[in-house]
Every structure is written in C-alpha cells, then in structure tokens.
Amino acid sequence: MTAVLCRHFGLKHIEIAEDIASDTFLKASEQWAIDGIPSNPVAWLYTVAKNKAKDYFKHESIFESKVKNGLTPGTYSYETGFEFNHQIIADSQLAMIFAVCNPANTPESQICLALQILCGFSVEEIANAFLSNNETIKKRLYRARANLRNNNFQIHNLGGADIEERLEVVLKTLYLLFNEGYYSKSGNQVIRGELCSEAIRLAVFLSGNPLTLNTKVQALIALMYYQSSRLSARTGEHGEVILFDNQDRRQWDSSLIAQGHYYLVNACTGEQISKYHLEAGIAYWHTTPADQNKWPHILQLYNQLILVEYSPITALNRLFAYAKVYGAARTIPEAEQLQLTDIHYYHELLGYLYTEIDTFKAIEHYENAIQLTKSPVEREMILKELGRLREEKI
C-alpha cells in the first residue's frame, strides 16, 4: 500500500504514505470488527487509502507549506482514476524497492530501509537479519531516511543503468525477506510462509522483465523454490521445529522442486557463479534422496560459497556439512577456532557435535544457546534436546 501510494501520488516524504497506510489498517480493524470483513478486503483497503490520501492533500497544511511547492508537474494527480490490481501492486512494490535502494545510502542502509518500508520488518527483525543490535539499526534507518529526503526522493522510471546498479541490493533484500519467512528469528512462529511467498512473487516478477532478467535472479528463484518445497515438513502439529534428518519427505512438494530445477537449469546457462547459484546448488542436493553421497557435494559448494561471501552463519553451516563428511571429532577443533561465542547457532552446532563425544560439554553448549536465542520456538527445540541428554545421564 505504501508503494502504491508513493507511486500514484508522487509523495515526497515516505512517512506520509506510511501514516496513511497505518491509518487505513487501523480503520479496518475498527470497522471490520463491527461490520465484518468485506467481500473484497483488498479493494476496501485501497479505496480507504485513496480517500485518506485525497483528504490529506486537500486539507492538511503540511501539503500547502512543505509538499506542494516541491512537486514537479505530473507528480500529483489524485483527481485521476485510482487503479489497482495484482499487477499494479507488484509493479509498484518493485518500483519502490528500486527507488529506496538509492546509492545515496550505503548498501546496508538501502537494504534496511527496503526491509522496513516495503517488507514490514521491525527493527528487531532487521537487526536479526544483519546479526546486529537494535540501536545500530535505528541509527542506520534514521540516517537513510534523512539522506533520501535530502536527495529529493521520488519514485520515477529508472533507466537500464540505474536498474543494473541497484539490482544487487534488490536481490539481497528479497533474499533476506525470504530468509525471515523460512526461519524467523523473532516472534512465536519459526516459519512465516507469507513472507516466503511474497519474496518468490517479487523475484519471479523480476524474471519477467528483460531489464532485470539474469542468471543471478533465476538462481535466487531456484533457491527459494527448493527451500519452499520443504516448508510443510519443517514443523509438527503443534508448531515444533522438525530438523532436516527427521522430516517426512513425503510432505516435500515435488512441484516446487520441479520449479527449482527449471530455474536452476536456466541460471546455469552463463559463466557467472554467484552466491545464489551456490546456495541453490546446496538446496538442490538437500532435495535429493537421503544418502551420504550428497554431503561431499554440499561441502564443496560451501567451500566455494565461503570464499564468495563469508558470513558466520555460512561458516557454521559449512562445518555441519564438514561433520557429515569427516565426523564430529574432526570437526570440533575447526568449530572452536571460530570463537563465535555470541551467536547461538555456534553453541547449537557444538552441542550437536559433542552429543556422542562428551555429553556434559554438549549440555553446556545447549544451555549457552538457550541464553542467546531470541526465538521462543527455537528455545523450545533446544530444551527438548537438553531434556533428552539429561535423561541419558541419569
């Protein structure tokens, strides 16, 4: 809604569109509770948003004193028809993402702003995505918004060079949007399927435009489809996490795996190898029948991925694959050298590795992981493993 408002009315300040969108949903929560949900909720919401935008422009002194003089001819046209459909909404969202991913800000700030404005992420969710703290993200967002205002931010049609310059950041934004849906680090849901679907929808929309269609885009889509194929198998009846080795493979969606194959084949038509190619390859091997032959392939891909783009999580995931190939005893010294003691995944991995070697150390690391994780669902999963280990010691 924010994207559609900004694009249609040419708002100079993002905050105005955000306020109108918030007011619209507040009105919906009040009126729908009394009258019930309308037959076409989307049309209802956009109609209310349109009317609120018109009222704002007509009656608010802010428009007269701060916005009107800064508008260029053709940017303000609320008297014309307010059209909306799935295509217009998707097009507006992508236009807004490309507009927000403005080189006036650093790539990290661009991604933070896009995740907040277009994807609805909270400060905490953005901090989790960047393995950062809330205060750092707040300052980054504040500076990014100020830079856009100073840069006379507006949505307009970008040329091919602008799109090419910004595409990498847009892809990273969609990647993080999908990751939050695939494994949410905040709230009581470990999986947020609507975020995964939204990321795929926008990425597929990119693949349909000649200016944004390249092998990176197709590799990212392949990764998303492969990961989505296992969503229903990753949680149990009561929302508990089911680890990969314990998943019922009959619940994997073969049609989504087939879509992943299609996009991965198309992604491999050129000579470019990106992190999305490598992660899609890893995801591909995870969808193959369960046998040990796949782990050397997965480890090899992680070895390449960590050189292309290092991150603590990639390093830890690589060590999990390393353990599958070479065993826990050989992996533990490699893991301990990382000294990622402030990340709960580090302690989860060591807890897993020590399980068959030193139960007391495994328990110690799982207890550290519980102290560090912010996810209630993940904490419950670790507590379950802790309980099992403690029973074995009795």
Candidates 178, 170, 175; CA nearest to 194 is 178
- The residue out of 84, 115, 146 marking a domain boundary is 84
Instruction: Give the Cα separation of 374 and 186 in Å (integer).
Output: 6
Residue corresponding to tokens 């910004």 = 166
Instruction: Give the Cα separation of 143 and 150 in Å (integer).
Output: 10
Q: pLDDT for 178-229, tens place per residue?
A: 998 888 766 667 788 888 998 998 899 889 888 888 999 999 999 999 999 9
- The residue out of 62, 84, 106 marking a domain boundary is 84
Whether the model clears a pTM of 0.85, i.e. scores above it, the answer is no
211 is a domain residue: no
Is residue 264 pLDDT above 90, yes or no?
yes
336 is a domain residue: yes
157 is a domain residue: no
Instruction: Give the Cα separation of 85 and 255 in Å (integer).
Output: 27
- The residue out of 84, 100, 135 marking a domain boundary is 84
Task: Say what the pLDDT of residue 333 is.
Answer: 96
Give the domain CATH number at 373: 1.25.40.10
152 is a domain residue: no
The three-class DSSP label of residue 235 is: strand
226 is a domain residue: no
Task: Say what the pLDDT of residue 75 is.
Answer: 45
Candidates 55, 44, 53; CA nearest to 19 is 53
330 is a domain residue: yes
- Total tally of structural domains belonging to the chain: 2
Q: pLDDT for 318-371, tens place per residue?
A: 999 999 999 999 999 999 999 999 999 999 999 999 998 999 999 999 999 999
Judge contact between 183 and 245, C-beta under 8 A: no
Q: How far from each other are the two terminal CA atoms of the chain, in whole angstroms?
A: 57
391 is a domain residue: yes
247 is a domain residue: no
Range of the domain at 19: 1-84
